[in-house]
Structure 1
Amino acid sequence: MEFGSSLRSRNLPGTLLRSGTDWFVRLLYPPVCAGCGMFVAGSGALCPTCWGSVRFIERPYCEVSGAPFDHDLGAGMVSPDVIANPPPYEKARAAVFYDGAARKLAHGLKYSDRADLAGMMAQWMMRAGRDVLDDSDVILCVPLHRRRMFSRRYNQSAELARAIARLTGKTFEAGGLGRVRATRQQVGLGLRARQDNVRGAFAVPVARNPAIAGRRVLLIDDVLTTGSTVEAATRALLRAGAERVSVLTFARVASPGGETLYA
């Protein structure tokens, strides 16, 4: 018998044991659709109905904000909003529109302790944000204030950032940005109220400045609505010396106010 065949034979009991364990776990906890709970073939999957409701954001879109265009305006085009009010970040990208099963996924991660969804959502984000991922040195997330963190137990944006860092091998600075002032929830607020709500709410801890200064930062959040939160966070990172900041979110609200339907 060849050495390789002998080695495989010795490993066979362990392989069979793992297969048996996997089968038993699947028997006790069969995989279900992450959107509706229907049984599916494998974990981290959607049923055909939920999959059909997901609207992935594809080009053409604004090169800076990532806002989709109704029709192709040509390479490198930016939206009128960006021309009138240039954002502080370099680029923003989002994987999907915040509706259908995608909204259920975001809602489950944020409010229903479904941290297990972060891995699948992170893979969609990586597909949508390959350009900003490749052009970044370090990954950060939009933080929660300590009081909200205590009540919610985990930060959904941190879970997404951690999953993306694990999949890409990039560094995730978990404490690189802090929320130094408690704010109202943004849901239901208009643009001006959102901007006022998060103004001065973020800062880079002095001890973390070396991890930010001179670096190309990728800021992760779950849902982009008006952009007020990521813009305030970006300004704090730039004040701390970041070379530039790009933004990557799981979902994007097609029209302001749409997120209130699932709040």
Structure 2
Amino acid sequence: MLKARIQTAVSLIYPPRCLACGDWVDSDFGLCGACWRETSFVSGTCCDGCGVPLMGEDDGFRLECDDCIDHPRPWQQGRAALIYEGTARRLILALKHGDRTEIAGPAAGWLERAAAELLEDDPLVAPVPLHWSRFLRRRFNQSDLLARVVARNSGLAYCPDLLRRTERTPSLEGQSRSQRYATLARSIMAHPKRAKQIRGRTVLLIDDVMTSGATLTACSEACLGAGARAVRVAVLARVTHT
């Protein structure tokens, strides 16, 4: 009762605003109607490899996009909550580079709903790691913020340092697919102190954005090389190639 009264008082002093545009909304950490309509949520039939939307209906068999067929993924299954465009892109950039960490909570909720199937069978949740030098500069790992909420809400085991980056790689922006894979080769490894946790487990990797899949490939290969039974991936947004 007291908590509810405090929340009511806070909402009167600080009414909730849209995460994207700052306009008034009915609930905390939501989107206004206009921004919601401009946010490309993934729904319906999607690729089982990367989560990108697909035409047609689910026929009960595994469905993959051309990109996943041409470039087989080392992970078992993947899902994405959003398409990386419009409002979704602005929100992710604000979270990642604008210190808008309050976005992580509701965004993790969207991700959790999109990845509901991947949360079955008690997977071990882990974020895509950030190199320590970038962590010091940014002060947080956006993938960790998302993964932590997903694990907590789902009641799943969480290991924030299951993987680590052994090299500080340059930005992947603007690089071709082959350049991205070459840049990340052997730059991510399983934490040696987490061997018992990873061996024989299904690992669910959480990241903010998937472009070519190079980072998630490096992470998946590190998990499998350390003895994971299988790897699944869930990303807040998927870049589509038009």
- Is TM > 0.5 for Structure 1 vs Structure 2? yes
Task: Give distance in 2, aligned partners of 1:104 and 1:198.
Answer: 26
Quick check: which has more Rg, 1 or 2?
1
After the TM superposition, which residues 58-97 of structure 1 pair with which residues of structure 2 at under 5 Å, given as runs?
A: 58-72=43-57, 74-76=59-61, 77-97=63-83
Task: Give distance in 2, aligned partners of 1:19 and 1:244.
Answer: 42
3-state DSSP class of the match of 1:242? coil
Q: Does 1:104 align with 2:117?
A: no
The aligned residue for residue 3 of structure 1 is: none
Q: Does 1:158 align with 2:144?
A: yes
Residue 102 of structure 2 is aligned with which of 116, 123, 128?
116
Task: Give distance in 2, aligned partners of 1:25 and 1:80.
Answer: 49
3-state DSSP class of the match of 2:25? coil
CA contact (8 A) 1:50 1:100 kept: no
Whichever residue aligns with residue 120 of structure 2, its letter is: D
Residue 37 of structure 1 is aligned with which of 22, 28, 31?
22
Task: Give distance in 2, aligned partners of 1:73 and 1:220.
Answer: 24
Task: Give distance in 1, aligned partners of 2:3 and 2:115.
Answer: 35
CA distances 1:202-239 after superposition (whole Å, capped 9, x unpaired): 11121111110110000000011111110111101111
3-state DSSP class of the match of 2:82? strand
Q: Structure 1, unaligned stretches of length 5 or more?
A: 1-14, 257-263
Q: Does 1:26 align with 2:11?
A: yes
> Structure 1 pair 73/139, CA: closer, same or farther in 2 (3 Å)?
closer
Whichever residue aligns with residue 190 of structure 1, its letter is: S
Q: Which has the higher helix share?
A: 1
CA contact (8 A) 1:212 1:237 kept: yes
Q: Does 1:147 align with 2:136?
A: no
Shifted more, 174-183 versus 115-124: the winner is 115-124
Q: Does 1:172 align with 2:154?
A: no
> Structure 1 pair 22/181, CA: closer, same or farther in 2 (3 Å)?
same
> Structure 1 pair 193/112, CA: closer, same or farther in 2 (3 Å)?
same
After the TM superposition, which residues 188-207 of structure 1 pair with which residues of structure 2 at under 5 Å, given as runs?
A: 188-207=174-193
Task: Give distance in 2, aligned partners of 1:19 and 1:148.
Answer: 39
3-state DSSP class of the match of 1:171? coil
Q: Structure 2, unaligned stretches of length 5 or more?
A: none
CA distances 1:76-115 after superposition (whole Å, capped 9, x unpaired): 2333433333110001100111122222221121111122
Offset, 1:192:
1.4
The aligned residue for residue 39 of structure 2 is: 54
Task: Give distance in 1, aligned partners of 2:225 and 2:11.
Answer: 50
Shifted more, 191-200 versus 138-147: the winner is 191-200
CA distances 1:148-182 after superposition (whole Å, capped 9, x unpaired): 00000000000000000110010110111101110
The aligned residue for residue 200 of structure 2 is: 214
Task: Give distance in 1, aligned partners of 2:151 and 2:225.
Answer: 24
Whichever residue aligns with residue 171 of structure 1, its letter is: A
Residue 138 of structure 1 is aligned with which of 124, 132, 143?
124
Offset, 1:27:
3.5
The aligned residue for residue 228 of structure 1 is: 214
Task: Give distance in 2, aligned partners of 1:237 and 1:19.
Answer: 43
Task: Give distance in 2, aligned partners of 1:78 and 1:223.
Answer: 18
Task: Give distance in 1, aligned partners of 2:122 and 2:3.
Answer: 38
Whichever residue aligns with residue 190 of structure 2, its letter is: V
CA distances 1:37-65 after superposition (whole Å, capped 9, x unpaired): 11112211111100101122123222233
Whichever residue aligns with residue 59 of structure 1, its letter is: G
The aligned residue for residue 5 of structure 1 is: none
CA contact (8 A) 1:136 1:217 kept: no
Alignment size in residue pairs: 241
The aligned residue for residue 9 of structure 1 is: none
Offset, 1:197:
1.4
- With structure 2 as the length reference, what TM-score do the two structures score? 0.93
Alignment identity in percent? 37
